[in-house]
Amino acid sequence: MNMDRASLIPALTNIATRLRIDSVRATSEAGSGHPTSCMSMADLTAALFFAEMRFDPKDPKNPESDRFVLSKGHAAPILYAAWAEAGAFDRAELMKLRQIGSDLEGHPTPRLPFVDVATGSLGQGICAAIGTALNARRIRSDYRTYVLLGDGESAEGSVWEAADVATMDKLDNLCGITDVNALGQSRPTMWEHDMGQFERRWKAFGWHAIVIDGHDMAQILDALAEAKATKGQPTMILARTIKEKGEELDRALAELEKQFVPVPEGGPAANLAGQIPKPPSKPHGVDNPKPVAAPAYTLGDLVATREAYGTALAKLAEADPRVVALDADVKNSTFSDRFEKVAPERFYQNFIAEQVMVGAAMGLAARGAIPFPSTFACFLTRAADFVRMAAVSNVGIKLAGSHAGVSIGEDGPSQMALEDLAMYRAQPNYAVLYPSDAVSAERLLALMAYHPGPAYMRTSRPKTPVIYGNDDTFTIGGLKVLRESAADVATVIGAGITVFEALKAYDQLKAAGTAIRVIDLYSLQPIDQAALVAAGRATGGHLLTVEDHYAAGGIGDAVAEAVADAGLTVQRLAVREIPRSGKPEELVERFGISAKHIVEAVKGMKVRS
């Protein structure tokens, strides 16, 4: 900023005062909303927005804009005040804080164009900031990412996952700021104002750490300059601040009004918002993605869907430079290492840290990348809160979980995802896909990449035969009817490995003179309601689901809701107790989801009807 410190600092101080006043007024009008957490970060916010970052308040999504992530999302009122001060919208809107008709929600969401990812669950913003910082590298931009954390937030393990990854990736375009106001929600924080506790930790994790007085504007500006000049490592500014006590806010407001300092009228300091440096205009046109290479299998080939996932991901990497992949040290099991071989510069290793893997994917997705984070499906539950917040953000992360169900065998229950379908289906805006063979896995992966919003694919460990032709078509929201005749007495609906149990059951029943319909429900959400109802009606209302998943929240529940309005009910085969180690085929048998159980269930249906 082209202005001497003596002019700049009083102007910034006035802005900080105005941001404090706006925060108190807005939360007072709303009747709730963490004003004291806003107060402590007011000076930091003023310096960041009006003397540090480059952005266009009228074009906040500009690819070259610096990013600001408010990891302590409960301080939303001052975030809104800062954007209003910058000219993004009319300051009068601030008084609609938390109202149903306003996008100025209690915690920030991407309903607002200047918010990349929703925050409000502590420890997530810094993970998303890793993603926006990685994205700068991806698009070869020098934009910087700033992320502001609360001090209490530092207790969240995800913060330290992010700390490790930022150091490993040498993200010197990332600047963290911790607002050390020493007060948590219910009591003083763990380390209160002992700044050394913070400094030791961040330095140990490889960050450049700077301790400052968070209300001393000169120290703030110096620290931001030092961060920008620091190469090869990220910087954390640890700012000692004061949180006003809530009960004193009314008095504070009166005090604040008196705090404005004289700034020469008409000079540059009187209009800092007008001088925010704009991002450079750079061409960022993405080449139209090339078509993804088609599957190339032979019917009957034995290929695990997890392996087909890796193959498809590598093909997608070649077709579209926006596609990136993230791993948590299982790339050789999920086969995401095939992506790494093709596009190592877009493959982000997070080691065994699932939260930052998913959080970084959220930041990448918010900035135009198409990120595929993957690990064992059971370990993605480690990032369940990130999965939830990605739904709130409606960002297009493309999760893949391998090794689903008891069919993994000997590794035992700790490695078996049996609740993952429930987890993703619960989020109303996730697409949930579950291919049974290599062709469908490849086709669905390409579809999920371009499906708007978040998506999840479940893959399996065992090799399964290819049952689809390389030119077969699939849709998100579709299904495949694999066996069908006018004589069908029941419809058996499986997905993944249970499709093959259903096909075995078909053969056994056919040999005994009984015909059944077999459906591969590869898309659980959205779901092909009409086709399921039609199949149910055509087969005497006899619907049987079979899934390598616990009974609640999976295929059975999905089908049951889809056909309920048609008056149809569903019988379910699912895993109904905690499983154990054993051979895959032994476990599929023991936990009630094998061909034998399907045959018995169908015979039972015939008896009852």
Task: Please state, in angstroms and rounded to a whole number, the distance separating the CA atoms of residues 58 and 395.
Answer: 22
Asked if 69 contacts 125 with a C-beta cutoff of 8 angstroms, the reply is: yes
Which lies closer to a copy of itself via its Cβ, residue 268 or residue 582?
582
Across the strands, what pairs with 177? Answer: 148, 237
Q: Least distance from C-beta 16 to a copy of itself, angstroms?
A: 26
- CB half-sphere exposure, 239, CA atoms < 13 A: 32
Task: Please state, in angstroms and rounded to a whole number, the distance separating the CA atoms of residues 73 and 123.
Answer: 10
- CB half-sphere exposure, 411, CA atoms < 13 A: 14
Q: Least distance from C-beta 68 to a copy of itself, angstroms?
A: 18
Task: Please state, in angstroms and rounded to a whole number, the distance separating the CA atoms of residues 575 and 564.
Answer: 23
In the residue annotation, 354 being an active-site residue is answered as yes
Q: Least distance from C-beta 106 to a copy of itself, angstroms?
A: 4
Task: Please state, in angstroms and rounded to a whole number, the distance separating the CA atoms of residues 329 and 404.
Answer: 18
Q: Least distance from C-beta 287 to a copy of itself, angstroms?
A: 31
HEC secondary structure over 152-163: HHHHCHHHHHHH
Q: Least distance from C-beta 599 to a copy of itself, angstroms?
A: 19
Sign of CA dihedral 279, 283, 288, 290: negative
Catalytic residue among 153, 161, 354, 547: 354
Q: In the 8-state DSSP scheme, what is residue 74?
A: G
Q: Least distance from C-beta 57 to a copy of itself, angstroms?
A: 23
Which lies closer to a copy of itself via its Cβ, residue 98 or residue 458?
98
Structure tokens at 357: 């893997």
Task: Please state, in angstroms and rounded to a whole number, the distance separating the CA atoms of residues 144 and 142.
Answer: 6
Task: List C-alpha distances in Å: 322 to 280, 289, 395.
Answer: 21, 9, 14
Task: Please state, in angstroms and rounded to a whole number, the distance separating the CA atoms of residues 377 and 374.
Answer: 8
Sign of CA dihedral 214, 216, 221, 225: negative
Which lies closer to a copy of itself via its Cβ, residue 160 or residue 522?
160
Q: In the 8-state DSSP scheme, what is residue 536?
A: H
Tokens 């109904």 belong to 576
Q: Which residues contact 276 (CB under 8 A, 6 or more apart)?
A: 49, 50, 53, 54, 55, 56, 57, 86
Q: Least distance from C-beta 335 to a copy of itself, angstroms?
A: 11
Which lies closer to a copy of itself via its Cβ, residue 329 or residue 507?
329
Which lies closer to a copy of itself via its Cβ, residue 362 or residue 466?
362
Q: Least distance from C-beta 580 to a copy of itself, angstroms?
A: 6
Indicate the angle between helix axes 125-138 and 354-366, nearest 10 degrees.
60
Which lies closer to a copy of itself via its Cβ, residue 77 or residue 371?
77
SS3 563: helix
Q: Least distance from C-beta 48 to a copy of itself, angstroms?
A: 22
Asked if 167 contacts 207 with a C-beta cutoff of 8 angstroms, the reply is: yes
Strands (E), 203-316: 208-213, 235-240, 302-304
Q: Least distance from C-beta 386 to a copy of itself, angstroms?
A: 9
Which lies closer to a copy of itself via its Cβ, residue 306 or residue 382?
382
In the sheet that holds 570-575, the strands lie side by side as 480-483, 517-520, 491-494, 543-550, 570-575
Task: Please state, in angstroms and rounded to a whole number, the distance separating the CA atoms of residues 113 and 111.
Answer: 6
Q: Mark residue 459 as left, alpha or beta (left: phi above 0; alpha: psi -120 to 50; beta: remaining).
A: beta
Which lies closer to a copy of itself via its Cβ, residue 298 or residue 414?
414
Asked if 238 contacts 199 with a C-beta cutoff of 8 angstroms, the reply is: yes
Which lies closer to a copy of itself via its Cβ, residue 260 or residue 351?
351
Q: Provide the annotated active-site residues.
A: 354
